Structure 1
Amino acid sequence: MKKVLSIAAVAALAVSFTACKKNYTCECTTYEDGVPMATTPNTIRDTKKKAQEQCEAQNTTVGSLKTECTLK
């Protein structure tokens, strides 16, 4: 019985340390000369930290066009 409980405890501990991948929405809004033109949602399936990094990597500025992305 102790062996079964020990194995169950180790398994539960291992599961608690794994990073959970979830679906996050990265919402990107494109502005032209400061006026919002379009908003596009993108789904990112990853850990929150990595999803945040991927979302922020989509921020761009080209001439008068600027795209700002935020994780929702």
Structure 2
Amino acid sequence: ATSWIKLKNVLTLLENLYIVIRGPQIVRLIHSLLILLLSIVISNLKMSTYIIIFSLLYYLNKITSIALEII
């Protein structure tokens, strides 16, 4: 069961990364938040882990949007 939860977390993170790369910014952000809340409910990882992951996703989102403006 534990390995399944870990796999689910990895899949969630990958899904978040995919959302950050595609779609309108506000939709990406809301979607990421929803997935994040869901994954917190699904697993019992420490809150700080999710804060770190989310801030990484947030900055990746910023970098992506800046890069898209340049292109």
TM exceeding 0.5 = no
- Per the normalisation by structure 1, the TM-score is 0.33
Bigger fraction of residues in strand: 1
Higher CA-based Rg:
1
- Per the normalisation by structure 2, the TM-score is 0.33
